[in-house]
Structure 1
Amino acid sequence: MALVAVTKERRVGETRVAATPETTKKLIAAGFSVVIEAGAGAGASYPDADYAEAGATIAATAEAALGAADVLLKVRAPSDAEIAALKPGCLVVGLLNPHQERAALDAIAARGAAAFAMEFVPRITRAQVMDALSSQANLAGYRAVIEGAQAYGKAMPMMMTAAGTIAPARVFVMGAGVAGLQAIATARRMGAVVTATDVRPAAKEQVESLGAKFVAVEDEEFKAAETSAGYAREMSAEYQAKQAALVAEHIKKQDIVVTTALIPGRPAPRLVSAAHVASMRPGSVLVDLAVEQGGNVEGVRADEVAEIGGVKLVGYANLPGRIAADSSALYARNLLAFAGLLLDKDGAFAPDFADEILAASLVVRDGSIVHTALQS
């Protein structure tokens, strides 16, 4: 019986956990045994007793949990100490941030372990339940609006009272992927007047279906601005200049701006300049979901709420971690589905590395980094 280990997340501020009592019970039912490091779920309000009741063994330390583990489930890349405790051949599965955290992959390779990056799970129908980027982006988009509303300090919906009418907040969402669409839906539910922009033509219909107005320069480059994988292409300097001019006029009228634009493996594109920030009214708020990759907003600082000319720049680096119980629940289900691929039809631990999902997400095997996107 293969042993699955789940350890505490050791990155500062990371409150999520890679398994919940619910998924622990289902992993055991699937044929795994499970060991949980004591306190692993505390940040997401999952006590050790609930894991034990689900059938897991509670280990006092990470080293104790990892010594015999065949699979290590993580939210973020494991620490150096955790990697050192892995047995050769152990499979590490998590959001490994492979483009930015190459050192962790090198250490896993040197240890003789293998690793799968959940970021590389392909966007195909049978892998939808494993799409951790989408599950976490959904909650990030929701939380971004909550954080923006809190920092804004005024009412979001229109309110008509005997003392007068309060105008609704104007919310502009930049980037209409999974996070952006959830931000739009959340802002609409809160009563805001919402507009949104994206470089992908397909996003226009999605934005309008949620009751928001679409804002973009809709030229020929715009019509060809989506990759076959559904991601936004990096736009030309000429297009960016035209879009910036449109945004410059639009953004100065907004109360809350949420930026969500990311390009896999690349620094986040700069969408909001210092001039844009300066044009906004005091009391306005910018929430940048791309701060971990450099940020979409000039002047944003990771894990801080900066203030420039009375405009607040919210740069929380881990918005899903600010709603840890639900983020963990969804992510743990992504991992549960992925773990099922590590078993054969008889329930034995026998990963088929030729499976299209495993092959696409495999980043380290046999002492080497094997993913083509990571080979220079």
Structure 2
Amino acid sequence: MKILILNEGFEKQGHIEKRCAVSVSSVKRMVKRGITVVVQQGAGALSGYPDEAFIEAGGTVQQNCDADLQDADILLCVNRPDESVYTLLKAQALVIGHIDPFFQKQAVEAMAKRRLTTLSVEMIPRSSRAQKMDALSSQASLAGYVMVMQAANHLPSILPMMMTPSGTIKPAKVFIIGAGVAGLQAIATAKRLGANVTAYDTRDVVAEQVESLGGKFLKIDIGETGQTKDGYAKELTDEQKQKQQDAQRDAIADSDIVITTAQLFGRRPPQLISKETLALMRPGSVVMDMAATSGGNVEGSVPGQVATVNGVTVIGYGNWSQFVAKDATDMYANNLYNLLDEFYDDESAQFTLNMDDEILAGCVITHDGEITNGMLKQAYQGV
């Protein structure tokens, strides 16, 4: 079996991808299993892995991979491959990466038409068995850490309490909206840095997790809420959203740093903070909008940029794990290797595509010329 990894480290829509789909460790493990691994020149350069390291691990490094694309069995990607890439792949080749399928209908339909088998890592179910291959959670945990560190860099004051000869500096107040994977990591990081941390989530079930990390849980009665079978927060009604924003206003106004992590699976994120609410914050305060590049939680945030709204610094970089590209690559590469390991048959030297398996049934979105994921087909019908 032949696996190909292309160099994604070029500018695309104002963004340069620093991560790579393999690490030296994952290449070693694949080669040990008898898999041929071809890495395009420079693929790991931005994440700290030079070409020589992949060669030493047993991989092959190529500058031009057009011929390899035509006979590769599996293409491992960080992001969805361009049309110029997937049109060169042979039928039945397996593409694995962040496909962003709910918002890439045209590309998904085109890959199905090419008879490619497409596995979207975003669709890997959040089950105990699939945990080791859950790339979305791995990258989200890094995002939570990075957002706190970026906020601390932009805040014109320090996070911990400090007793000095000139007096005592009070700890910064950090308010985190959303206590999923990213939110919980942000809580833990901010608390370790000495901040006073408060968090809110529509799911009361996470209150215990917030408090176990040293944060305070803000309780807001907005009626019946809950989470999906995969652990995502359910979408709120307009009335619930208004109640939520009204109740959060005081907490936001009193905070030095606010971090929003609210994202809805397969849908645009909700707007949680208005410009009017930002105007209540102290000048110099910092707001981190995790969802800025996919629609935004904060009014006035600019995807990929730092904006100033009513005297408040609003940061919407997106692609947060890029700031720690080495660890992001290592984690993502491990997730992909664990996925391959789960379904790779050593005897036949093939990736076993059992569509009755609950993991593959959820994350394989195109196969044999069709879109196979029911949730995705339903979403496309409503477009």
Question: Aligning the two structures, in what range does the TM-score lie when normalised by the shorter sequence?
Answer: over 0.9
The aligned counterpart of 1:283 is: 284
Structure 2 partner of 1:73: 76
* Aligned ranges 1:191-202 → 2 under 5 Å: 191-202=194-205
Q: Deviation at 1:82? A: 1.0
Q: Any residues of structure 2 matched to 1:99-248 within 5 Å, and which?
A: 99-218=102-221, 220-221=223-224, 224-248=225-249
Normalising by structure 2, report the TM-score: 0.94
* One-letter amino acid of the counterpart of residue 345, structure 2: D
Q: Distance in 1 between matches of 2:324 and 2:341?
A: 26
* Contact 2:289–2:298 (CA under 8 A) maintained in structure 1: yes
Quick one: distance in 1 between partners of 2:41 and 2:68?
Answer: 9
**SS of structure 1 residue aligned to 2:16:** coil
Letter in structure 1 aligned against 2:44: G
Secondary structure of 2:244 counterpart:
helix
Q: How does 1:260-271 map to 2 (within 5 A)?
A: 260-271=261-272
1:113, distance to aligned residue in structure 2 (A): 1.3
Residue 293 of structure 2 contacts residue 304 of structure 2 at CA under 8 Å; is this kept in 1? no
Residue aligning to 1:357: 359
Deviation at 1:209, TM superposition (A): 0.6
CA distance in 2, matches of 1:240, 1:219: 8
Letter in 1 for 2:255: Q
Say yes or no: does 1:97 pair with 2:100: yes
User: Per-residue displacement from partner, 1:143-167 (whole Å, max 9, x unpaired)?
Assistant: 0001111111311111101111111
Name the CA distance, whole Å, in 1 between partners of 2:74 and 2:343: 9
Aligned equivalent of 1:18, options 1, 16, 21: 21
Of 85-94 and 102-111, deviating more is: 102-111
Offset at residue 218 of structure 1 (A): 3.4
Distance 1:95 1:218 in 2: 36
Aligned-partner residue type, residue 6 of structure 1: I
Structure 1 spans left out of the alignment, 5+ residues: none
Mapped to 1, the partners of 2:84 and 2:73 lie a distance apart of 17
After alignment, is 239-248 or 338-347 more displaced?
338-347
| Aligned counterparts of 2:275 and 2:65: Cα–Cα separation in 1 | 45
- Aligned residue for 2:374? 372
C-alpha displacement of 1:220 = 4.0
Partners of 2:356 and 2:56 in 1: CA distance: 36
Answer yes or no: is 1:7 the counterpart of 2:6.
yes
For 1:304-319, list aligned pairs within 5 A. Answer: 304-319=305-320
Change (3 A) 1:345 1:124: farther
TM-score (norm 1): 0.96
Query: Given residue 20 of structure 1, which amino acid in structure 2 is its aligned partner?
Result: S
Deviation at 1:227, TM superposition (A): 2.0
**Match of 1:365, as an amino acid?**
H
Distance apart, 1:291 and its partner CA: 1.3
42-51 vs 28-37, which moves further: 28-37
- 1:200 and 1:256 mapped to 2: Cα distance? 22
- Unaligned segments of structure 2, at least 5 residues: none
Matches within 5 A, 1:20-99: 20-99=23-102
Residue identity opposite 1:131 in structure 2: D
- 1:128 maps to amino acid: Q
CA shift for structure 1 position 345: 5.8
Aligned-residue Cα RMSD (Å) equals 1.3
Query: For residue 120 of structure 1, what is the amino acid of its counterpart?
Result: M
Q: In the comparison of the two structures, how many residue pairs are matched? A: 373
Distance 2:344 2:319 in 1: 32
Distance in 2 of aligned mates of 1:29 and 1:346: 14
Bigger drift between 117-126 and 179-188 goes to 117-126
**Corresponding residue SS for 2:26:** helix
Check the 8 A contact 1:341/1:351 in 2, yes or no: no
Residues 324-343 of structure 1: matches in 2 within 5 Å? 324-343=325-344
8 Å contact from structure 1 (residues 216, 243) kept in 2:
no
2:294 pairs with 1:293: yes
CA distance in 1, matches of 2:215, 2:269: 24
Separation of aligned partners in 2, 1:83 and 1:192: 47
The DSSP-based 3-state class of the residue aligned with 1:92 is: strand
- Determine the structure 1 residue equivalent to 2:259: 258
Q: Which amino acid aligns with 2:240?
A: Y
